[in-house]
């Protein structure tokens, strides 16, 4: 796998398959070089798991991929938590920063 580039799509596919995720959002935060990613992952496997155990599940599922990148951040939700999160974002859309726009940086 060392020769295969890590992309938003490859991470999304791996998470969907390996964690039986029902929703995955992955964003390349490195400007396209594939070295820093953030994700939101929804999986029933997170039920009754602490935040630490959820992170360990994700890190184990992406062991090979994480070894090839410099930065990884994930927020993990159960399907029920995700529904509450979406409702919260819909009620207050100006605070999420997830309206489809990409924040590339600030110049000035």
Please report the pLDDT score of residue 20 as a whole number: 97
Structural domain of 64: 8-92
Please report the pLDDT score of residue 84 as a whole number: 95
Q: What is the pTM of this model?
A: 0.80
CATH at 63: 3.30.300.90
Q: Is residue 72 part of a domain?
A: yes
Q: Is residue 103 part of a domain?
A: no
Q: Is residue 31 part of a domain?
A: yes
Please report the pLDDT score of residue 95 as a whole number: 53
Provide the residue-wise pLDDT of the chain in tens; the chain has 108 residues.
456 789 999 999 999 999 999 999 999 999 878 899 999 999 999 999 999 999 999 999 999 999 999 999 999 999 999 999 999 989 987 654 544 444 444 444
Positive/negative CA dihedral, 56, 86, 22, 7: negative
With residues binned 3-state (H G I as helix, E B as strand, rest as coil), the percentages for the chain, rounded to 5, are: 45, 20, 35
Nearest to 41 by CA among 60, 29, 24: 24
Q: Using an 8 Å Cβ cutoff, are 24 and 12 in contact?
A: yes
Q: Is residue 101 part of a domain?
A: no
Q: Is residue 3 part of a domain?
A: no
- Please tell me the total count of domains within the chain: 1
Q: Is residue 100 part of a domain?
A: no
């Amino acid at each position: 796998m060392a020769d295969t580039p890590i992309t938003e799509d490859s991470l999304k596919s791996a998470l969907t398959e390996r964690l039986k995720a029902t929703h995955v959002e992955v964003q390349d935060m490195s400007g396209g070089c594939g070295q820093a990613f953030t994700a939101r992952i929804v999986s029933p496997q997170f039920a009754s798991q602490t935040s630490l155990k959820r992170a360990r599940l994700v890190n184990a599922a992406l062991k090979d991929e994480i070894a090839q990148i410099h930065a990884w951040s994930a927020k993990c939700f159960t399907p029920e938590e995700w529904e509450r999160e979406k409702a919260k974002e819909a009620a207050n859309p100006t605070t999420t920063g997830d309206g489809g726009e990409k924040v590339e940086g600030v110049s000035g």
